[in-house]
Structure formats: C-alpha cells, structure tokens
Structure 1
Amino acid sequence: MDTIKTLNKWANAHTYIPLDLLRVALGVFLFIKGINFMANTEMLMQLFEPIQNMAGGMIVVHYVAPAHFIGGLLIAFGLLTRWAIIAQFPILIGAIAINFAGEMNSNNLILALITLFVCAFFLLYGSGKHSADYYFKMQQ
C-alpha cells in the first residue's frame, strides 16, 4: 500500500496535460473496442477460433466486451484506473497470444502491443491529477 501511495504522490507532482489526454484516449479507445465487440459478436467469435475448443472459451468471449466497455469508461474518467487496467491485462495478453496461435495479423499485434505498453505505464503512473480519483480524494 505504501508503494501505491508513493507512486500517487510522484504522479500528482509530475502530472502533465498530455499524459492525462493519453489516459483519456486509451479509455476512449477501449470503450470503442468494447462497443465494437458488442455490436459485432461474430467478429469476436472469429478472433477466438484458435482457442474455441479450450475450456472456458465462452466465458472469455463474454468477459472481453464488458471489460473493455466498462474499463474504458473508468480509465477515461480516471476512476479506479489501476483496477480497470489490471482487468485489461489478460485481454491484451490474450490478443497478443491469439496472433501467434492463429492467423498472424500484424496490425492487430502492433495495436495490442502498444495498448499493453500504455496500460503498463498507467498501471505504474496512476490516473494523475486531472482525474475523478484525485477529485474524490481532495473532497475528503
């Protein structure tokens, strides 16, 4: 817990608007991907063809869209950012693994890698000073 408090103090002292805009852009991107997966479940099922016969395959399909949808909203507003990003990690690692298990799509692989690295950064950095977390903390 002390590590998180130390990281939050450092992040709030070094908060810059471009980093907050990057966090919002990441949240909006994940939100749009969640809507895209909800609207086009056939495409999502095609992506999961390599792991279709594995146990829990249907659970994974039902986890991806809501996790992107809700996690994207939370990340964009800066509310429970670290928890929302932790929920994204299995999806992003799975997106990278699916590219190697199934048909290689370099665009999807690069997009998943960039998203994973940005999520890893915000896992350490936190939500920053211009976020709902910071606002609620200051209201106490």
Structure 2
Amino acid sequence: MNLLQKFEYWGDRHHPKWLDIIRIALGIFLLYKGIDFLRNTSDLVSLMSLRSPFGSFLIILLGHYVTFAHILGGFFLTIGMFTRAACLIQIPILIGAIIFVNSSQDVLRPYSELFLSILILLLLIYFLIVGNGPLSVKFPEEEKKRSQK
C-alpha cells in the first residue's frame, strides 16, 4: 500500500459527517450559481469581457465552461461522486473570479463577493485533498475493495 492509499484509507476512517453536510451545501450552492449563470449568460459574458484580456470567442467559450462546470461539479459534489474531479475543474474558475472579477471591486464594502469566492476556493481545495465522506454515492466495486483492506 503506497502513501496515497494509506492517506485515503485514513481519511475514509476519520471523516466526520458534518464535513459531508458542508460538502453538500457547497455543491448545492455551486449548482445554484451554475443555473444562475445559465439564466444570465449575457451578463456573465459582458462581465468577463470588461475585465479579461481575451477575445470575444474565447470569452463566450469560457462563459459556457463556467456554467457547465458549476452545474456538473455542483451536482457531483452534492451527491459525493467524483468529488476530487469536480473540485479540480472548478478551482481555476474560482482563481479567475478572484483575480479578474473580484479584485477590482471595493473589498471593504459590506457585501463583497471576494470573501465568498476565497471561502469557496478554500473549501474546494480542502475537498480536493480529503475527497468525499460517508454520506456519498459509492460504487459496489469500491465498497468491496475497501472492506477487503
């Protein structure tokens, strides 16, 4: 058993259920944001075009990537399936949101979205490391392998 498998085995045995509730809430929030971006795609594209150095075709592609990644990644985070992959596809989006969108706004205003973006990024990094927990969808082959250890 290599070091990564030992770490994953230890994390599976010591993962509290309240962290799964946070993962589920994060997934629902990202799913909501993805649906909101889908409804307001023109606003998202116009916001991205104001602050990014890319051409219009690439901005439209990025807008669709953001929407798709939030919907699919939020769904997978909510059910606890492909948790690390869902976090991995959303981390660049949050880094871009912090750098391009939120950094130019007034950080000290009462309802700044910069702090929310940083919190979401930190939670995504955390769940990228620890993965899903006991309240998640599990495949029968995976359960069989874990019970044999």
**TM-score in terms of structure 1 length:** 0.87
Shift of 1:112: 0.7
2:105 alignment partner in structure 1: 104
Superposition RMSD on alpha carbons, in Å? 2.0
Per-residue CA deviation, residues 34-75 of structure 1 (Å, 9 max, x unaligned), is 000001113212321211x51422211110001000000001
Corresponding residue of 2:22 = 22
Contiguous gaps of at least 5 residues in structure 1: none
One-letter identity of the residue aligned with 1:73? F
C-alpha separation in 1, matches of 2:5 and 2:72: 25
Runs of at least 5 residues in structure 2 that lack an aligned partner in the other structure: none
Tell me the distance in 2 between the aligned counterparts of 1:90 and 1:71. 13
Aligned pair count reads 137
How does the TM-score come out when normalised to structure 2?
A: 0.82
Q: 1:113 aligns with which of 109, 118, 137?
A: 118
Identity of aligned residues (%): 34
User: Counterparts in 2 of 1:73-88, with a 5 A limit?
Assistant: 73-88=75-90
Which residue pairs with 1:31 in the alignment?
A: 31
CA distance in 2: counterparts of 1:135 and 1:33, whole angstroms: 32
Partners of 1:85 and 1:123 within 8 A in 2: yes
| CA distance in structure 2 between the partners assigned to 1:18 and 1:37 by the alignment | 29
Bigger share in helix: 1
SS at match of 1:132: coil
1:139, CA displacement in angstroms? 5.1
**Where has structure 1 moved over 3 Å in runs of 4 or more?**
1-4, 133-136
Q: Give 1:24's aligned amino acid.
A: I
Query: Match for 2:64 among 40, 62, 80?
Result: 62
Secondary structure of the structure 2 residue equivalent to 1:94? helix
Q: Hey, what's the Cα distance between the residues in 1 that align with 2:126 and 2:98?
A: 18
d(CA) in 1 for partners of 2:2, 2:138: 17
Query: Structure 2 vs 1, CA of residues 134 and 109 (structure 1 numbering), >3 Å: closer, same or farther?
Result: farther
Q: Secondary structure at the match of 1:79?
A: coil
The answer to whether the Cα contact below 8 Å between 2:34 and 2:68 also exists between their aligned partners in 1 is yes
